[in-house]
Amino acid sequence: MSRRCGAAVLVLAAGTVYADDLTPPPWRFNPGTTVQHWDFSSGPIGFAPDAGPLNNPFGNPIMTPGAGANWLPVFGGRNDVWAIAGSSLNFDVPNTGNQANQKELWLQVTYFSAAPALNPNYVIGGASGPFTQFGSQVTPLGNGWFHELSKWKVAPCPPAERVSILPSTAGAQMLIDQVVIDTRCAVPAPGVAVLLAMAGLAAVRRRR
């Protein structure tokens, strides 16, 4: 698969289905949004997104494995899997830093586990501080594999964020097969929303 050296932008036909991209957000490809997908098919030294969909007009997303992470060509009936134990996978996503809006991030992770509750740990943050999780959905895929969608937000929008995936238990090994990250910076931050509402009310009163 070809990769661009400049800003990562790949426009794909509507309705295309991607492996394990099970829960795309309804706002994908709208202005102020990004999407990047890693299936790790580019191997142990391919850290740019290597699967579709991909659309990031703000820069080049990158994945950096922590020390001790190992890429496995085959595991559990799947190809191109990262094994992390006492380590992490770190995804840096450039973005728009609109200070008037808040950031929403949807994270899809396909992982191998003895039980769905033993899902990975996630740490997400940027210049605005740590993201707050506000939703999670786990889907069994069979043969020990699970898909998790987690939803996160922070205000205001940072110009970039880092998503780190870690084992659920210290010393345990976690197997990660695919990662899809969607972001949008298009919703007014809570304080800005209040100010806009007050301004609208004042305008209505002036017209009366």
Domain range list for the chain: 9-207
Look up residue 147 and give its two tokens: 């898909």
Instruction: Determine how β-strand 173-188 pairs with β-strand 33-38.
Output: antiparallel
Among candidate residues 183, 187, 186, 178, the one with its CA nearest the CA of residue 162: 183
Look up residue 91 and give its two tokens: 């995804």
Which CATH architecture does the domain made up of 9-207 adopt? Sandwich (2.60)
Span 53-71, pLDDT tens digits? 999 999 999 999 999 999 9
H or E segment and range at residue 92: strand 89-94
Span 157-182, pLDDT tens digits? 999 999 999 998 877 899 999 999 99
pLDDT band at 208 (very low <50, low <70, confident <90, very high): low
Helix, coil or strand: residue 191: helix
Q: What is the DSSP-derived secondary structure letter of residue 190?
A: H
Q: How high is the mean pLDDT of the chain?
A: 86
Q: Please state, in angstroms and rounded to a whole number, the distance separating the CA atoms of residues 73 and 41.
A: 9
Q: Please state, in angstroms and rounded to a whole number, the distance separating the CA atoms of residues 179 and 106.
A: 11
Rounded to whole angstroms, what are the CA distances from 28 to 33, 56, 80, 183? 6, 11, 26, 8
To the nearest whole percent, how much of the chain has pLDDT over 70?
83
Higher pLDDT, 199 or 206: 206
The residue type at 17:
V
By 3-state DSSP, what share of the chain in percent is helix, strand and coil, each rounded to 5? Answer: 10, 50, 45
